[in-house]
Amino acid sequence: MVSFADQLLVLVMLINFIMLGSSRLAFAIRAVAVQGVVLGIIPGLLHPFSGHLLAITVSIILAKGMVIPYLINDAVRKAQIRREVEPFLGYVPTLLLGAVFTALAFVFAQKLPLAPEHRDLLFVPASIATLMTGFLILTTRKKAISQVIGYLVLENGIFIFGLLLAEAMPFMVEAGALLDLLVGIFVMGIVINHISREFSSVDTSRLQALREE
């Protein structure tokens, strides 16, 4: 089962690359939803079956795979965004940067003082690589929605790291983290609506220009 979880983590890292390279917003949202579902499956594979585990798995898949993507899609519709992602950096440079960061994540994970049973697993490198991808998306994209997606990917990275401890982590902590995320997305949605109403666009680079009225 552990090797199957490793394959799923490879899939998660591939989705990172897809998100870095895709120019369509709707496609990126769907990719993040798929990533969420894959991440939801992993804890179910790793730990012995229990009601607690089932609740976590189901709630993660529901939140990450359905509710949050739905909310983002809703924000996209309300702010009437067309389709482009509009990066500061081109797609190919971000893809290459993503690849370099992934490679560095593997190097870095090997240097970390990990427990011997975690050393050969993909969890730590995958978590760092996903974190870095989230950072990249957050910093290189102009549209506020793409930045929300970057934030989600960042959170997914943290979640992968938490998977190693999933059994030790009480359900309430996990639920609290998910709730935080949900509230974050709500706030972001409201902010995006405001930005789009004030500037008639959600291009965050316009926020740098001061103007008086």
Partner 1 sequence: MPSTLFHILLLLLMPPLLLGVINKTKAAFAGRVGAPCLQPYYDLAKLLRKGSVFSSTTTWVFRAGPVVTLAATLVAALLVPLGNHPAIISFNGDMILFAYLFGLARFFTTSAALDTGSAFEGMGAAREVTFACLVEPTLFFILITLARMSKSLSLTPMLLYPSPAVWGEAGAAMLLLVGALFIALLAENCRIPFDDPTTHLELTMIHEVMVLDHSGPAFGLILYGAALKLFVLGAVFVNLALPFKSGNLLVDWAAFAAAMLFLAVLVGVVESVMARLRLVRIPQLLVAATILSAFAMLLIVR
- Find the binder of partner 1 among 13, 33, 61, 145 (CB under 8 A): 13
Supply the minimum distance, in Å, between the C-beta of residue 92 and partner 1. Answer: 5
Stretch that binds partner 1, among 12-20, 164-172, 173-181, 202-210 (CB under 8 A): 12-20
Is the CB of 120 or the CB of 213 nearer to partner 1? 120
DSSP characters over 1-30: -HHHHHHHHHHHHHHHHHHHH--BHHHHHH
Neighbours of 44 (CB within 10 A): 18
Closest approach of partner 1 to the CB of residue 106, in Å: 6
Member of 57, 102, 130, 146 binding partner 1 (CB under 8 A): 102
Q: CA triplet 187, 171, 183: central angle to 5 degrees?
A: 5
Per-residue burial over 86-106, b if 16 or more Cβ lie within 10 Å, else e, is ebeeeeeebbebbeebbeebe
- In the complex, the smallest distance separating the C-beta of residue 85 from partner 1, rounded to whole angstroms, is 13
φ and ψ at residue 19, rounded to 5 degrees? -65, -35
How many chain residues are in contact with partner 1, going by CB under 8 A? Answer: 20
For residues 203 and 86, the answer to whether their CB atoms sit within 8 Å is yes
Counting contacts by CB under 8 A, is residue 110 touching partner 1? yes
Location of structure tokens 């899939």: 11
Side-chain-side CA neighbours of 183 within 13 Å: the count stands at 6
Q: How far is the CB of 95 from partner 1 (least distance, A)?
A: 6
Segment near partner 1 (CB under 8 A); pick from 33-41, 74-82, 92-100, 149-157 = 92-100
Residue from 2, 103, 173, 183 touching partner 1 (CB under 8 A): that is 103
Query: Closest distance between partner 1 and the C-beta of residue 172, in Å?
Result: 34
Please identify, among the stretches 77-85, 98-106, 138-146, 169-177, the one whose residues bind partner 1 according to the rule CB under 8 A: 98-106
88 residue type, one letter: F
